[in-house]
Amino acid sequence: MKVERPVPPDQLVERILRRELLSCAPDTPILEAATIMAEKRCSSIVIVADGRPMGIWTERDALAVDLGSPDAFTKPIASVMSTPIKTISGTTTLGDAGMRFQLEGVRHFVVVDDAGVAIGIVSQSDVILRHGVEHFLVLRTVRSAINRPMVTIPADTDLRNAIAQLRSARTDAAVVLGADSDSHGIVTERDVLRLIAGRKGIPATVGSIASRPLISVRHDDSLLGTRNLLEEKGIRHVGVVDDAGQLLGLLSFSDILSTLQYEYVHRLDEALRERDEALLRSRKDLNLAHKVIEASLDGIMILDSHNRVEFVNPAFTHMTGYAPEEIIGKTPSILKSGRHDDAFYTHMYQTLDKQDYWQGEIWNRRKNGEIYPEWLTINVIRDEDGSVSQYAAIFSDITERKKTEERIKNLAYFDVLTGLPNRRLFLDRLQLAIANAHRHGHLMAIMFLDLDLFKRINDSLGHGVGDQVLVETAARLSHSVREGDTVARLGGDEFTILLPEIEHLEDAAKLAERVIGQVKQPFIIDDHELYITTSIGIGVYPEDGETVETLIKNADTAMYRAKDLGRNSYQMYTPAMNARSFERLTMEASLRHAVTRGEFKLVYQVKVDMDTGRMSGVEALVRWNHPEMGLVSPAVFIPLAEDMGVISDIGEWVLREACKQCKHWHDLGLPPVRIAVNVSALQFRETKVPDVVARALRDTGLPPHFLELELTETVLMQRVDEVVVVLKELRAMGVRISIDDFGTGYSSLSYLKRMPIDALKVDRSFVNDIFDEEDKVTEEGAEIVSTIISLAHNLKLKAIAEGVETPAQAAFLQSKGCDEVQGFLISRPVSGEDLISLFDRDLLPEAQE
């Protein structure tokens, strides 16, 4: 009995069958069949006709042969074989085979192939012993395996009688009793078979064929040792003796098997139950996996080992546009976008080969031709033997993600409104340009640009128009520069130009002139014709700074210098400028406290009635008397105050002070005069002007019709309807309204008509342009002034000219019907005290002459 290496229960019977099948034809004489079996020490022979097993004849059947009848040995085996024969397919698993042995109560199956041809035999012991029994046998004693009564036959018993006893006891062996225990022997079915095969005549008593001595083991020996003994001796039975050496019974190999059988069947049941549970589990798992794959938002594609599509899920179809039937059986190359070269795919397959895994971004093509990016993961699925069985590809469409990334990148480096590089990108490029210039020893330059009075456009025409101006400016700047130069927007109306390489300083200056010329061209936006100018500061590497910070600071300073010097121009940086910007900083700090510290004062400039030559009114002009800097011009600090958000405080102080002064003149008994106060556009927007005015009038006691507010044109074009309401309110109080600097803004006739105003003030730049340097009337200057005057009259408004410096200008204005004039010709702005001397006098120069 050979115990083989344990074989798993899902292995097939064909792996363990014994292929030397003892077989014979149906007409084989019993004698011959018995001889074959005895020689081969085999317990059965299969009777085969045309290759098919018909029946079986076993050692047990040999007991049925009538040994007394000589014909019995020559009878054909077919007449005594057991039939039908039980067969089992070679592809049955050992687990299932074990079950069949148990259920059908047989000890052998003839193994057949698919065509039913006998290919071998398998016994129950073959199956059981393949399952690894040592650990079990070692624990059991011999006594526990004895499960049937011992048959004993005295040695002198007639042989045929003895065989009959074996048959009736349904046992394969019996103890042949000798005179004492040492002379006991054993007789088995095999002995009977040998007798038939021997053809030597039949002995009379069983004692003559018994094998002696009867090999015995002790009752408490382990079954494993006994099994080994049986194997070693090549026998199938042993006697079992107790401690006293008394024979207790016979133990056969099949007894050991029966003992094992219970355990085996138990284990088999357990294995089967486990298998069923595992099957159920895996069926559930499969079901779950199927549902997950179907519902997955990721596209899933399974390819066979030849790279042909086996399966795709609905998400695949959704993303690629290919229905399963359109792609199954094809290779995935149908999805190729053409964006990747062969090297890309080669690398992918090499990685898959090496690592069984590839992940990355890939561009594919949908059925509609659209190319899209996907994030793809491919896993190689291998068989147990390691060969590739499938590829599983899982992917998601990352079009949106890529767009977002792109947007984020753009947001990080580009200005959303104009599409120009933003501050960060500009700084990156500047850093690079400095390094390059340093390495190659060449010059480079940056320009800082700021649109002059851009705030006015925003304030008057709204941010929509302002934005369009910025976009158009960006385009003009981009067209003005060379390839390789960078135009960037730093924010608001601030732009920069980076010239990474210039030969001479003049190159930068020339570009600045070109840019100024470009920006000066009219902007046509939403029916508005806008005239814009720009101030530019230039910083050159290495003269004006060798680091990003100093270059930027100095170009910025140069730009402010350009603005201070009258805008619409450029300035190259000079070290002296830094002193100025320092000045600006100090000025900002002091301006915050100027009102509370009482550093402001008002001066007054008269307006003269052209018809009478008498004072018709007075304009209050603010002055800042800075403790260190001295008198600072409002043209400098008013824009600063607007930027800093302190204009309304200053404005309110001016208003109260002016009203107080005017009331004071009245109280002095001087001829009652009207006082005009400037209100900045920002102040107009930020405060409730009628409330502030009402408070100032009430607190000072000045009657409202002696107060006039001078508003700039830009005020009129803020939210028009609201402005009209406020102006009407002021007019209803009795306050007069005039429009200052008329002609420099963008007011249209239709707006003007709707505005409740009293006068237009012709800007002094136009008055200045009436005559050229040789005192000749200029066509254009004269024309503009005449037009404004007639416009005012057409609208039933007074026309007032400011900045009148010469008698000729005054005469011209008078000839055009201008109602009032104001200017150095008549009087510079003077203190409230000094103004007293101007009352009640003819102030026009002709009258003086």
Ligand X SMILES: Nc1nc2c(ncn2[C@@H]2O[C@@H]3COP(=O)(O)O[C@H]4[C@@H](O)[C@H](n5cnc6c(=O)[nH]c(N)nc65)O[C@@H]4COP(=O)(O)O[C@H]3[C@H]2O)c(=O)[nH]1
Closest CA to 659 of 611, 618, 687, 630: 618
Q: Which residues would be at the binding site for ligand X (CB under 6 A)? A: 605, 621-622, 633-635, 638, 651, 654, 678-680, 710, 740-741, 764, 802-805, 823-824, 829
Closest CA to 176 of 200, 193, 155, 198: 155
Taking the complex as a whole, the smallest distance from the CB of residue 804 to ligand X amounts, in Å, to 6
Question: What residues form DSSP beta bridges with 46?
Answer: 23, 56
Helix/strand/coil for 46:
strand
Residue 92 is which amino acid? Answer: T
Taking the complex as a whole, the smallest distance from the CB of residue 810 to ligand X amounts, in Å, to 11
Give the number of residues written for the chain.
Answer: 849
Taking the complex as a whole, the smallest distance from the CB of residue 824 to ligand X amounts, in Å, to 3
Nearer Cβ to ligand X (296/687): 687
Taking the complex as a whole, the smallest distance from the CB of residue 420 to ligand X amounts, in Å, to 33
Token pair, residue 418, equals: 């104009």
Nearer Cβ to ligand X (404/831): 831
Closest CA to 352 of 326, 372, 367, 332: 332
Token pair, residue 753, equals: 């008509």
Taking the complex as a whole, the smallest distance from the CB of residue 600 to ligand X amounts, in Å, to 9
Taking a C-beta distance cutoff of 8 angstroms, is the pair 744, 725 a contact?
no
Report the run of H or E that residue 749 belongs to, with start and end: helix 749-754
Taking the complex as a whole, the smallest distance from the CB of residue 603 to ligand X amounts, in Å, to 7
Q: How far is CA 674 from the centre of its chain?
A: 70
Question: What residues form DSSP beta bridges with 497?
Answer: 447, 487
Provide the phi-psi class of 592: left if phi over 0, else alpha when psi is between -120 and 50, else beta: alpha
Residues 739 and 795: their CA atoms lie apart, in Å, by 13
End-to-end C-alpha distance for the chain, whole angstroms: 153
Q: How far is CA 507 from the centre of its chain?
A: 47
Nearer Cβ to ligand X (537/651): 651
Taking the complex as a whole, the smallest distance from the CB of residue 556 to ligand X amounts, in Å, to 25
Nearer Cβ to ligand X (319/679): 679
Taking the complex as a whole, the smallest distance from the CB of residue 671 to ligand X amounts, in Å, to 22
- CB atoms under 10 Å from CB of 448, counted, come to 28
Nearer Cβ to ligand X (252/827): 827
Helix/strand/coil for 125:
helix
Residue 216 is which amino acid? Answer: S
Nearer Cβ to ligand X (219/764): 764
Helix/strand/coil for 316:
helix
Taking the complex as a whole, the smallest distance from the CB of residue 768 to ligand X amounts, in Å, to 8
Residue 324 buriedness (CB in 10 A; 0-12 / 13-18 / 19+): middle
Taking the complex as a whole, the smallest distance from the CB of residue 490 to ligand X amounts, in Å, to 28
Nearer Cβ to ligand X (44/683): 683
Residues 193 and 80: their CA atoms lie apart, in Å, by 14
Nearer Cβ to ligand X (172/741): 741
Nearer Cβ to ligand X (487/821): 821
Taking the complex as a whole, the smallest distance from the CB of residue 528 to ligand X amounts, in Å, to 23
DSSP letters spanning 492-537: TTEEEEEEEEESSHHHHHHHHHHHHHHHHSPEEETTEEE---EEEE
Taking the complex as a whole, the smallest distance from the CB of residue 732 to ligand X amounts, in Å, to 23
Nearer Cβ to ligand X (638/835): 638
Nearer Cβ to ligand X (115/635): 635
Residues 745 and 629: their CA atoms lie apart, in Å, by 32
φ/ψ of residue 139, rounded to 5: -85, -20
DSSP E strands, 627-692: 630-632, 674-679
Nearer Cβ to ligand X (556/710): 710
Taking the complex as a whole, the smallest distance from the CB of residue 573 to ligand X amounts, in Å, to 28
Q: How far is CA 700 from the centre of its chain?
A: 68
Closest CA to 450 of 477, 430, 427: 477
Nearer Cβ to ligand X (397/741): 741
Token pair, residue 365, equals: 């093509």
Taking the complex as a whole, the smallest distance from the CB of residue 821 to ligand X amounts, in Å, to 10
Helix/strand/coil for 115:
coil
Helix/strand/coil for 338:
coil
Nearer Cβ to ligand X (299/634): 634
Closest CA to 186 of 121, 120, 233, 135: 233
Nearer Cβ to ligand X (299/829): 829
Q: What are the contacts of 49-52 at 24+ separation with CB within 8 A? A: 49/25, 51/117, 51/118, 52/116, 52/117, 52/118
Taking the complex as a whole, the smallest distance from the CB of residue 602 to ligand X amounts, in Å, to 7
